[in-house]
């Protein structure tokens, strides 16, 4: 069952009922100002940091789930309704929400009035623009009393939800014409304020929440709205809001637009005031002048669309299957950029007050956007490297506003350093920019202790090599990719977090996954070393990698698949000898991606075991059998009921590793089949079961051991976005930037017979036609009409257009 449909030419998902199984959201903003917006206009906005610069208030885990947002109320002669359905929830004759790239348009029709609310964050502006378009479709004149509504957050979102003895006495606003200014905290250390304004004369306003709603009333029935008259209330302490009343007269057939702007402004400390106690409003006036007319909003929307046209023209595919094309051309790339921007900070499952930027998360998110925003990927790599410790280990997270490592979480996640190599390799292969290797970057943000980026990578690699356990495999530390496999934790205390609690000192718990990751990174690291002028290091890396691969086969092979780890006592994790958790997906995917066991058949055996034991209709689950009780020696992974999260759910981040591994063995049918099981556009038909947005990946889908198998959770901000992009674009469709050129090595299922890909890389354009007649095998390449050996097309100069034909 579906709750809408894709509009591919418009690059929109169109939701046709307000009653989706869960709020289906979108993101506004690509630079500094961001908004989360649900299909009924719920959500919130922030500037740069979802915790410290939150503009509007949002209450998570509410009843119903999604209340609070940028709302409009219409009072039409006593008949009160909302164009976005919420919060009034009066029945609509038609409802439609169009989530597009960086904007959302919600239309409601009610008794002859059509109202469309368009929401966007224009490029180059620290503001959300809300345009309300009203049309009288009836035969008689109408007077619509329009009420806008946002509720201000007192900036620090954590404080805002906890420190009421202070907060409830802080709130302050100023009103000037049709602009309402939120100036709480400005009298002391803040140099920033918010403004919510409309481009029309107002009949009244409210800034005091309690006055606007009236005592004991809820979201759907504010007193100002039901009485049709704003109270011109001025808040003092308690809860500041901004609501305008605009009275709109419409003749039959007439249309009117109102443009509202919710903006963030800063003043230099010496220019904070324009008069005694009066906030300097010059930046706000400039901002409002930029969006004072509907034509300016149209121009901002067109500008946003051309931004996305340009970005998405870097990789486009025509495969003959619209579900493949909409994931590849639009939604997967869009999700990759949102995830890169926000890491794991703010979504409908991440509260914006929890995690900073994850080290491994950001490195992997970057794999999905190096082709889109290479200059920002470069900056991110350098920021991440600056949080690395001198010994090569890394802070697990850093804060976006300060770019400093997060002490609360600390370090000790032993896979972290290697992801920096993975990210840098991807960046240099995409761009050819070797200058990044010489950039001087501090260790732990200490300007007195610096080194070129390549030195950071060298210490990353050697940190892992320098921390091997009794079998010669890398020590796991607090955890590896699987944050919940805590082999040194031994927590018996419910009040302590698994990931930050004091671990037992021990040098026995080892990770086969990190071993696979090391071998996988080695070719890129060796190439980087050569490029940085260290041929000896490059040579040594090849030897280290070969030794590690051999160690995996001698101590990390369980007979039919790769082991997961050795625990604190040296016992096997992920072995047929275990009663629960006999086989884990992570080492199967990564070891085969790294090429371990490809020659002697172990790779094929491991992937067959994955298919037989972990494959389900809804994707590949993390391990089997799921853990049915808490295992002290394994940690958080066993804290979840079977089938959820790290305890045996389909963790969508890991599935593409298996897809890539399948492609490594040339098994395109199987790779594509795994992708189809989790790709949102393919799950659209079962939206009543999947429940979350059918246009973006979720972190997990409940596994076969869960009562709610097939139900997704935690959409949007997940490493699943980047890795699924890598799997489908670089391995299944098979177009991948390498050191020597662009590799064209598709590994396709029979379903995709003729595929065209246009790929822009290093300034040149490659028009690639794939004829998949023999259903597999290696392609025969023709480049600009000439046959070419192998599967690599040399890089062409900027501006060149190269025609590539690949016959399978
Ligand atoms: C974290 C990742 C981690 C994954 C698996 C996610 O929530 O952000 O860093 O790899 O869970 O535990």
Lowest-pLDDT range of 229-238, 297-306, 502-511: 502-511
Q: Is the pLDDT of residue 374 over 90?
A: yes
Q: What is the pLDDT of residue 401?
A: 79
Does ligand 1 lie within 6 Å of residue 635's CB atom?
no
Q: What is the pLDDT of residue 775?
A: 62
Q: Whose CA is closest to 227, among 73, 341, 107, 377?
A: 73
Give the pLDDT mean for 521-530: 98
- Closest atom of ligand 1 relative to the 481 alpha carbon: 10
Q: Is the pLDDT of residue 777 over 80?
A: no
Q: What is the pLDDT of residue 402?
A: 84
Q: Is the pLDDT of residue 776 over 70?
A: no
Report the length, in residues, of the chain. Answer: 808
Position of tokens 């805590």? 486
Give the pLDDT mean for 66-90: 98
Q: Whose CA is closest to 461, among 383, 514, 411?
A: 514
Q: Mean pLDDT score of the chain, rounded to an integer?
A: 97
CA distance 794 to 73: 59
H/E segment holding residue 260 = strand 255-266
Give the pLDDT mean for 291-307: 98
H/E segment holding residue 303 = helix 294-312
Q: Which of 356, 361, 423, 638 to mutate to test the pocket of ligand 1 (most atoms within 8 A of CB)?
A: 361
Give the pLDDT mean for 83-106: 98
Does ligand 1 lie within 6 Å of residue 478's CB atom?
no
Distances (CA, A) of 107 to 91, 127, 176, 210: 13, 22, 30, 29
What is the distance in A from the centroid of ligand 1 to the CA of 299?
A: 40
690 token code pair? 């999947």
Q: What is the pLDDT of residue 695?
A: 98
pLDDT digits (tens, 9 = 90+) for 648-706: 999 999 999 999 999 999 999 999 999 999 999 999 999 999 999 999 999 999 999 99
What is the distance in A from the centroid of ligand 1 to the CA of 500?
A: 15
pLDDT digits (tens, 9 = 90+) for 224-239: 999 999 999 999 999 9
Contact 577, 570 (CB under 8 A): no
Q: Is the peptide bond before 87 cis (omega within 30 degrees of 0)?
A: yes
CA distance 314 to 316: 7
Give the pLDDT mean for 172-201: 98
For ligand 1, atom 11, name the residue with the nearest CA: 483
Give the pLDDT mean for 335-356: 94
Indicate whether this model's pTM tops 0.85.
yes
CA distance 792 to 162: 58
What is the distance in A from the centroid of ligand 1 to the CA of 402?
A: 23
Residues 6+ apart with CB under 8 A from 723: 364, 367, 368, 653, 656, 657
CA distance 303 to 121: 11
Q: What is the pLDDT of residue 356?
A: 80
Distances (CA, A) of 158 to 51, 54, 163, 345: 7, 10, 8, 13
Q: What are phi and psi of 609, to 5 degrees?
A: -65, -40
Does ligand 1 lie within 6 Å of residue 646's CB atom?
yes
- Closest atom of ligand 1 relative to the 360 alpha carbon: 9
For ligand 1, atom 5, name the residue with the nearest CA: 482
428 token code pair? 């240099």
- Closest atom of ligand 1 relative to the 483 alpha carbon: 12
Distances (CA, A) of 143 to 232, 254, 266, 453: 21, 12, 38, 64
What is the distance in A from the centroid of ligand 1 to the CA of 519?
A: 21
Q: Is the pLDDT of residue 318 over 80?
A: yes
Q: What is the pLDDT of residue 408?
A: 86
Distances (CA, A) of 360 to 95, 365, 366, 423, 498: 41, 9, 10, 9, 18
Does ligand 1 lie within 6 Å of residue 484's CB atom?
yes
CB atoms within 10 A of CB 786: 7
Contact 531, 457 (CB under 8 A): no
Q: What are phi and psi of 620, to 5 degrees?
A: -95, 120
Q: For the chain, what percent of residues have pLDDT higher than 90?
A: 96
Q: What is the pLDDT of residue 696?
A: 98
Q: What is the pLDDT of residue 341?
A: 96
Distances (CA, A) of 372 to 308, 341, 369, 614: 10, 12, 5, 34
Does ligand 1 lie within 6 Å of residue 361's CB atom?
yes
Residues 6+ apart with CB under 8 A from 530: 538
Does ligand 1 lie within 6 Å of residue 482's CB atom?
yes
Catalytic residue among 156, 206, 325, 483: 483
Q: What is the pLDDT of residue 399?
A: 83
Q: Active site includes 483?
A: yes
Residues 6+ apart with CB under 8 A from 270: none
Q: What is the pLDDT of residue 802?
A: 98
Q: Which of 351, 362, 395, 653 to mutate to test the pocket of ligand 1 (most atoms within 8 A of CB)?
A: 653
Q: Is the pLDDT of residue 243 over 70?
A: yes
Q: In what order do the strands lie in the sheet with 764-771?
A: 315-318, 754-761, 764-771, 801-807, 780-783, 786-788
Q: Is the pLDDT of residue 259 over 70?
A: yes
- Closest atom of ligand 1 relative to the 355 alpha carbon: 8
For ligand 1, atom 9, name the residue with the nearest CA: 361
Q: Which of 349, 351, 358, 416 to mutate to test the pocket of ligand 1 (most atoms within 8 A of CB)?
A: 358
- Closest atom of ligand 1 relative to the 714 alpha carbon: 7
**Bridge-based pairing state of the strands 801-807 and 764-771:** parallel
Q: What is the pLDDT of residue 403?
A: 86
Give the pLDDT mean for 155-173: 97
pLDDT digits (tens, 9 = 90+) for 391-428: 999 999 988 878 888 888 889 999 999 999 999 999 99
Does ligand 1 lie within 6 Å of residue 360's CB atom?
yes
- Residue 720, classed as helix, strand or coil, is helix
């Amino acid at each position: 069952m579906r709750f809408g449909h894709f509009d591919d030419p418009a690059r929109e998902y169109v939701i046709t009922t307000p009653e989706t199984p869960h709020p289906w959201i979108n993101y506004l903003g690509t630079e500094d100002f961001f908004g989360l917006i649900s299909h009924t206009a719920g959500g919130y906005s922030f500037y740069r940091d979802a915790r410290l610069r939150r503009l509007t208030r949002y209450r998570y885990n509410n009843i119903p789930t999604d209340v609070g947002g940028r709302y409009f109320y219409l009072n039409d002669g006593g008949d009160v309704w909302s164009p976005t359905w919420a919060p009034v929830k009066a029945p609509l004759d038609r409802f439609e929400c169009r989530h597009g790239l960086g904007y959302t348009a919600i239309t409601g029709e009610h008794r002859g009035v059509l109202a469309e609310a368009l929401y966007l964050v224009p490029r180059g502006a620290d503001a959300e623009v809300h345009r309300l378009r009203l049309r009288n479709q009836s035969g008689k004149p109408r007077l619509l009393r329009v009420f806008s509504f946002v509720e201000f957050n007192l900036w620090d979102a954590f404080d805002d939800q906890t420190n009421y003895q202070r907060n409830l006495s802080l709130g302050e606003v100023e009103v000037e014409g049709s602009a309402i200014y939120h100036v709480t905290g400005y009298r002391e250390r803040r140099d920033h304020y918010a403004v919510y304004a409309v481009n029309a004369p107002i009949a009244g306003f409210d800034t005091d929440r309690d006055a606007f709603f009236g005592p004991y009333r809820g979201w759907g029935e504010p007193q100002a709205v039901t009485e049709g008259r704003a109270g011109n209330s001025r808040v003092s302490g308690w809860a500041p809001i901004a609501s305008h009343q605009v009275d709109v007269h419409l003749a039959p057939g007439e249309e009117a637009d109102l443009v509202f702007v919710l903006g963030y402004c800063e003043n230099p400390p010496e220019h904070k005031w324009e008069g005694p106690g009066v906030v300097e409003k010059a930046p706000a006036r400039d901002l409002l002048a930029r969006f004072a007319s509907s034509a300016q909003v149209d121009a901002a929307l067109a500008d946003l669309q051309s931004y996305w046209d340009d970005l998405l023209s870097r990789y486009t595919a025509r495969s003959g299957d619209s579900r493949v094309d909409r994931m590849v051309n639009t939604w997967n790339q869009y999700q990759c950029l949102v995830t890169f921007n926000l890491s794991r900070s703010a979504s409908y499952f991440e509260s914006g007050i929890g995690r900073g930027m994850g080290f491994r998360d950001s490195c992997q998110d970057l794999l999905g956007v190096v082709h889109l925003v290479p200059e920002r990927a470069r900056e991110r790599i350098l920021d991440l490297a600056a949080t690395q410790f001198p010994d090569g280990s890394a802070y697990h997270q850093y804060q976006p506003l300060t770019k400093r490592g997060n002490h609360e979480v600390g370090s000790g996640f032993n896979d972290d350093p290697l992801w920096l190599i993975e990210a840098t390799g991807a960046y240099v292969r995409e761009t050819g920019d070797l200058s990044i290797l010489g950039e001087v970057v501090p260790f732990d943000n200490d300007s007195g202790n610096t080194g070129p980026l390549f030195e950071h990578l060298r210490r990353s690699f050697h940190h892992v090599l320098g921390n091997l356990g009794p079998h010669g495999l890398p020590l796991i530390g607090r955890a590896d990719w699987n944050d919940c496999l805590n082999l040194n934790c031994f927590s018996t205390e419910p009040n302590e977090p698994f990931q930050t609690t004091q671990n037992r000192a021990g040098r026995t718990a080892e990770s086969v996954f990190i071993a696979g990751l090391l071998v996988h990174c080695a070719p890129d690291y060796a190439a980087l070393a050569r490029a940085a002028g260290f041929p000896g290091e490059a040579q040594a890396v090849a030897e280290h990698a070969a030794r590690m691969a051999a160690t995996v086969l001698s101590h990390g092979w369980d007979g039919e698949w790769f082991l997961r780890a050795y625990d604190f006592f040296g016992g096997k994790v992920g072995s047929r000898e275990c009663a629960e958790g006999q086989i884990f997906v992570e080492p199967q995917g990564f070891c085969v991606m790294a090429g371990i066991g490809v020659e002697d058949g172990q790779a094929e055996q491991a992937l067959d075991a994955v298919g037989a034991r972990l494959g389900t209709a809804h994707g590949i689950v993390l391990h089997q059998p799921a853990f049915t009780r808490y295992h002290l020696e394994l940690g958080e992974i066993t804290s979840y009921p079977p089938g959820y999260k790290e305890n045996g759910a389909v963790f969508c981040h890991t599935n593409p590793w298996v897809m890539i591994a399948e492609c490594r063995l040339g098994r395109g049918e199987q790779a594509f089949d795994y992708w189809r099981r989790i790709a949102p556009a393919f799950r659209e038909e079962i939206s009543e079961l999947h429940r979350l947005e059918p246009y973006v990946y979720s972190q997990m889908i409940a596994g076969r051991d869960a009562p709610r198998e097939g139900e997704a959770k935690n959409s949007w901000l997940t490493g699943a976005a980047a890795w699924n992009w890598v799997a489908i674009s670089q391995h299944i469709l098979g177009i991948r930037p390498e050191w020597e050129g662009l590799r064209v090595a598709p590994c396709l299922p029979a379903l995709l017979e003729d595929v065209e890909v246009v790929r822009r890389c290093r300034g040149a354009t490659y028009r690639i036609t794939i004829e998949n007649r023999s259903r597999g095998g290696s392609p025969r390449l023709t480049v600009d009409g000439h046959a070419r050996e192998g599967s690599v097309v040399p890089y062409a100069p900027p501006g060149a257009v190269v025609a590539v034909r690949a016959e399978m």
